[in-house]
Amino acid sequence: MKLPAFSYCAPTSVDETCALLREHGDDAKVLAGGQSLLPVMALRLARPALLVDIGGVGGLDGVEVDSDAVSIGARCTHAALERHPIVRELLPALHLALPLIAHDAIRTRGTIGGSLAHNDPAAELPAVALLLRAEMRVRSARGSRTIRAEDFFESYLTTALAPDELLTSIRFPLGAGLSACAVREVARRHGDFALVGAACRVSIADDGVAARVALLGADRVAVAFDVDAAVLGEAPFDDGRARDVSRELADRLDPPEDVHASSDYRRHVAGVLVERVLLEAGAKLGEATR
Ligand SMILES: Cc1cc2nc3c(=O)[nH]c(=O)nc-3n(C[C@H](O)[C@H](O)[C@H](O)COP(=O)(O)OP(=O)(O)OC[C@H]3O[C@@H](n4cnc5c(N)ncnc54)[C@H](O)[C@@H]3O)c2cc1C
């Protein structure tokens, strides 16, 4: 399908990008990897008059570690992050989720910032950002601000970004102490968007092992839940406790129904996946503490 007509510009700095977004407001759209925006335009679901291509903007593709966080530039591609040693070592949940996104060709062009700004409920990265309590660093001609993941993903394909704002980097805080992660999903075919997915991070707390679980495809936006340490006990977890927790979380969901799956099916799969990621992450943590 042919794209509708649009104008195109290729700024080389964040300031120039922000000036263009301020000047054109709702008529402009940032173009990153184009893997979501261009199909949406081809389907006539968006008709921006101007595409602001950030492919040549400097300073948006670094991965940096400081004492308590990893910051990732918004234009880093899924493929580059999948191979990045810092991501593999310090952000295992992200490392496990990246290969589940689409196919190599799409991961080579698609960016972390594009995925988070697009906010598809079935995408992996919004769920991982929620799981890890990421913070979005945003710039506009009006200034800078930081938005917590909990406040960023507002609803279906909608975020807290204003039309004149550019997502520049994502900060992933590193928790103190030992932790372990697991990510699982169910898709009809390898590379398809998942029907449902679950990611989990477990970490040692004073009274046991605390868990945080995030789900994709289980609601109209990615969702996350915290499970108190007292509920799960020591790692590895008891099967019955993990099952009880997963059933209780699944009951809180209100999954969408569409041509791919019914609401009940999504709720059931979500419960099964939560149980599996809890047990898997709990087993990894148990192994690490032995
Ligand atoms: C066939 C196919 C299968 C796919 N399967 C999956 C999948 O299984 N899982 C998955 O998660 N994704 C999947 N995707 C989407 C893919 O991951 C995209 O890369 C991603 O959603 C968007 O990233 P992008 O860089 O291509 O963004 P673009 O398409 O360039 O932009 C997407 C949106 O984000 C905005 N935007 C981009 N960057 C910024 C920024 N820095 N600041 C502000 N706004 C910005 C754009 O204006 C646009 O509205 C699939 C795509 C295709 C075509």
**Residue spans of beta strands (DSSP E) within the chain:** 7-9, 28-31, 50-53, 63-65, 69-73, 135-140, 143-148, 153-155, 158-159, 166-173, 179-186, 196-205, 208-216, 223-227
Of 160, 64, 155, 60, which Cα lies nearest the Cα of 111? 60
289 vs 263, more confident: 263
CA dihedral 213, 215, 218, 223 (to 10 degrees): 80
Ligand 1 pocket member 124 (CB < 6 A) = yes
Q: With bands split at pLDDT 50, 70 and 90, how would you rate the model's confidence at 47?
A: very high
pLDDT greater than 90 at residue 143 = yes
Q: Which atom of ligand 1 is nearest to the CA of 75?
A: 41
Of 47, 73, 80, which Cα lies nearest the Cα of 59? 73
**Residue 221 confidence (pLDDT):** 97
The rounded distance, in Å, linking the Cα atoms of 80 and 67 is 23
- Pairing of the two strands 143-148 and 179-186: unpaired
**Residue 205 confidence (pLDDT):** 86
Which phi and psi angles does 74 have, rounded to 5°?
-65, -25
Ligand 1 pocket member 110 (CB < 6 A) = yes
In sequence order, what are the residues at sequence separation of 6 or more whose Cβ sits closer than 8 angstroms to the Cβ of residue 25?
163, 164
**Residue 85 confidence (pLDDT):** 98
Residues 17-42: what's their mean pLDDT? 97
Residues 14-20: what's their mean pLDDT? 98
Ligand 1 pocket member 179 (CB < 6 A) = no
Residues 111-136: what's their mean pLDDT? 98
Ligand 1 pocket member 217 (CB < 6 A) = no
Q: What angle do CA 203, 100, 111 make, to 5 degrees?
A: 95
**Residue 207 confidence (pLDDT):** 81
pLDDT greater than 80 at residue 1 = no
* Of 37, 57, 118, 124, best ligand 1 pocket probe by most atoms within 8 Å of the beta carbon: 118
If you measure from the C-alpha of residue 115 to the centroid of ligand 1, how many angstroms do you get, rounded to a whole number? Answer: 4
**Residue 175 confidence (pLDDT):** 84
Ligand 1 pocket member 127 (CB < 6 A) = no
Percent of the chain with pLDDT over 90: 93
Q: With bands split at pLDDT 50, 70 and 90, how would you rate the model's confidence at 101?
A: very high
**Residue 60 confidence (pLDDT):** 98
Ligand 1 pocket member 140 (CB < 6 A) = no
Q: With bands split at pLDDT 50, 70 and 90, how would you rate the model's confidence at 62?
A: very high
Q: With bands split at pLDDT 50, 70 and 90, how would you rate the model's confidence at 229?
A: confident
Q: With bands split at pLDDT 50, 70 and 90, how would you rate the model's confidence at 208?
A: confident
Of 79, 60, 198, 62, which Cα lies nearest the Cα of 117? 60
Ligand 1 pocket member 34 (CB < 6 A) = yes
* Of 115, 140, 158, best ligand 1 pocket probe by most atoms within 8 Å of the beta carbon: 115
Computed over every residue of the chain, the mean pLDDT equals: 96
Ligand 1 pocket member 203 (CB < 6 A) = no
Ligand 1 pocket member 20 (CB < 6 A) = no
* Of 3, 36, 77, best ligand 1 pocket probe by most atoms within 8 Å of the beta carbon: 36
Handedness of CA 263, 199, 96, 276 (dihedral sign): negative
